[in-house]
Amino acid sequence: MTTPTRRDVLASAGAAVVGLPLGAALAQDQPAPPKRLKVVVVGGHPDDPESGCGGTMARLADLGHEVVALYLTRGEHGIPGKTNEQAAEIRTAEAQKACTILKARAVFAGQIDGATEINPARFDSFAEMLLGEKPDLVFTHWPVDTHRDHRAASLLAYDAWLKSGRSKFALYYFEVMTGSQTQLFRPTHYVDITATEARKRAACFAHESQKPEGFYEAHDLMNRFRGREHGCKVAEGFAHHNQSPGVPLP
């Protein structure tokens, strides 16, 4: 009988390891395919999700994630000379067109532009709607904002996050017309939107009733400034609630 050499022992041990769980894990140590995320962007009015993070919405949709624009109102008070019903019809159609450009789905929470409410019933109904979407990632307005509807949307989304147990979805805040509306905003994260800025612009210009040639100028400056901070041409900045899960942005 031949005595096995040290090399023979090591070779047989190596072959045996392949059949063990650890060996199988090592053999399968490949990057997992990215999870398809459910992304919900909460805005006060039609045009807020688009102007605050339209470039990021487009990037996420292009990556295969499901993107939803959740509008707190239909912009009922946003067209001079039109009744609430007329303005809502026009602005709803504009939001649908914008979402088509961004590959997103539009949802409306049923509050009224200029008369949004924060009370127990509204907190509960909004949380039911938002959590019913089962989001992995939620973007909403920064709460320090000159527009009451923006503040309402932010607080409603924040309350839904609390109701979820603070662990069901990542919570990020976006800015709109920083300086004149959003105040004291300091991004923690950036998304390079150089490749999708044209679609963001087109989505904002879909809101013809809001004279986008006026309001988009402020966002163009904001995008360029955030791009300088991030080291690219144009970017969107976000503030991550650090007690919420971390979901990597594009």
CATH code of 122's domain: 3.40.50.10320
Q: What is the pLDDT of residue 35?
A: 86
Cβ(87)–Cβ(76) below 8 Å = yes
- Whether 16 is in a domain gets the answer no
- Whether 49 is in a domain gets the answer yes
Q: Is the pLDDT of residue 29 over 50?
A: no
> CA separation (Å) from 61 to 41, 46, 177, 182?
12, 19, 24, 26
Cβ(130)–Cβ(161) below 8 Å = no
Confidence of residue 240 (pLDDT cuts 50, 70, 90): very high
Q: What is the pLDDT of residue 36?
A: 93
How many structural domains compose the chain?
1
Cα-to-chain-centroid distance, residue 162: 18
- Whether 245 is in a domain gets the answer no
Q: With CA atoms as reference, report the closest residue to 94 among 139, 141, 50, 140.
A: 50
Cβ(77)–Cβ(45) below 8 Å = no
User: Helix crossing, 48-62 with 84-102: angle to 10°?
Assistant: 30
- Whether 79 is in a domain gets the answer yes
Q: Using one digit for the tens of pLDDT, what is the confidence trace for 183-234?
A: 999 999 999 999 999 999 999 999 999 999 999 999 999 999 999 999 999 9
- Whether 68 is in a domain gets the answer yes
Give the domain extent around 161. Answer: 38-240
Q: Is the pLDDT of residue 9 over 70?
A: no
Strand order in the sheet with 235-240: 105-111, 66-73, 38-43, 137-141, 170-174, 235-240, 189-192
Q: Using one digit for the tens of pLDDT, what is the confidence trace for 78-132?
A: 999 999 999 999 999 999 999 999 999 999 999 999 999 999 999 999 999 999 9
69 strand-pairing partners: 41, 106
Q: Using one digit for the tens of pLDDT, what is the confidence trace for 35-73?
A: 899 999 999 999 999 999 999 999 999 999 999 999 999
Q: What is the pLDDT of residue 30?
A: 42
- Whether 231 is in a domain gets the answer yes
- Whether 69 is in a domain gets the answer yes
- Whether 26 is in a domain gets the answer no
Higher pLDDT, 177 or 1: 177
